[in-house]
Amino acid sequence: MLTWPKRIFLFVITNLLVLTTLNITMYLAEVVFELDLSGYKSLLLLSVVLGMSGSIISLLLSKVIAKRMMGLTLISPIDATGFEKKILNHVYSMAKKAGLKTMPEVGIYQSPEVNAFATGPSKNNSLVAVSSGLLENMDEDAIEGVLAHEISHIANGDMITLTLIQGIINIFVIFFARIIAKIIMDNSDNRSSFAYFGVVMGLQILLTFLGSIVVNFFSRWREYRADHGSAKIVGKAKMIKALRALQNIQIPVDNEHKAIASLKIAGNNSSFLSLLFATHPPLKQRIKRLEQGKI
């Protein structure tokens, strides 16, 4: 439901860490081992390798990082009872309707935020997580809408799509950061390797930030598709009910989850910039598209 902000946060942070490590390796190859990357072809080739590597590694680690970062308690298919068993049964039933061959892991994390997310490297290796705040503040119909939305993200292969998009952004970031840095350094009095590395890293941060506009555009589009998928699985009424519940719920967020919760999209974006960098479309627009039957 509010899945993309949390999922993107985990994915992007991991991607940046991996990308930074790869860039330090690239810097050492250039400076210490005197690898010649002055030719555009060799630089582009290495940018492709490193850019896609960072994105793919982030994808492969996504489930592990989500579990550790959020302190998830996984629901055991064998020992689950009561409400947890009901949640598990809902997820499994929806996953089968969505055509998933392998059932996702299901977890709950303790937080007053009303949130849920899905992640994992593939349809056959996925995770659905919900917050205690969501379970406490939504009725069963709305919860079903949320769970079906997350299952739709998995069935639609959204994490793989995001990986490919982020990988392409990484390639452009690595390549053009070095091209621009070389131009800057050629016109600078300080041409030390450390200064060059600093300029490259600064440019990469800036270009990654700008590249997030592209990622967020596709994120918003995939949200509409996941809403539509949820409507097909559990019915339009339950998905709309979940979205309306999000419009009406305002829960205080504890300090532990404040950093991530600040990235959540409440659906009240009004300015051009907030819409440009939003990972979710406004809730009002999502409800309208569902009512009109649009993806």
147 — pLDDT class (breaks 50, 70, 90): very high
For 67-71, 133-137, 257-261, 268-272, which range has the lowest pLDDT when averaged over its residues? 257-261
pLDDT score of 50: 81
Runs of H (alpha helix) within 71-157: 82-97, 132-137, 140-155
* pTM for the full predicted model: 0.79
Catalytic residue among 105, 150, 256, 291: 150
What's the CA gap between 252 and 113, in Å, rounded?
A: 7
If one compares 15 and 244, the residue with the highest pLDDT of the two is 244
Percent of the chain predicted with pLDDT > 70: 78
**Encoded tokens for 124:** 């056959």
193 pLDDT above the threshold of 60: yes
35 pLDDT above the threshold of 80: no
93 pLDDT above the threshold of 60: yes
231 pLDDT above the threshold of 70: yes
If one compares 258 and 126, the residue with the highest pLDDT of the two is 126
If one compares 142 and 70, the residue with the highest pLDDT of the two is 142
140 pLDDT above the threshold of 60: yes
pLDDT score of 28: 63
Runs of H (alpha helix) within the chain: 3-31, 40-70, 82-97, 132-137, 140-155, 158-186, 193-234, 236-248, 258-261, 272-276, 283-292
7 pLDDT above the threshold of 60: no
116 pLDDT above the threshold of 60: yes
Distance from the Cα of residue 269 to its chain's centroid:
19
- Specify the number of domains making up the chain: 1
Spatial CB neighbours of 185, under 8 Å, sequence gap ≥ 6: 191, 195, 196, 199
For 1-10, 176-185, 190-199, 213-222, which range has the lowest pLDDT when averaged over its residues? 1-10
Tell me which residue has tokens 């990988």.
Answer: 167
Contact status, residue 89 vs residue 128, Cβ threshold 8 Å: no
If one compares 111 and 274, the residue with the highest pLDDT of the two is 111
What's the CA gap between 268 and 279, in Å, rounded?
A: 12
pLDDT score of 164: 87
pLDDT score of 1: 47
Spatial CB neighbours of 55, under 8 Å, sequence gap ≥ 6: 15, 163, 164, 166, 167, 170
If one compares 42 and 152, the residue with the highest pLDDT of the two is 152
pLDDT score of 3: 42
4 — pLDDT class (breaks 50, 70, 90): very low
255 — pLDDT class (breaks 50, 70, 90): very low
φ/ψ (deg, to 5) at 268: -110, 25
pLDDT score of 2: 43
Active site residue 150: yes
User: What domain range includes position 91?
Assistant: 3-292
Percent of the chain predicted with pLDDT > 90: 40
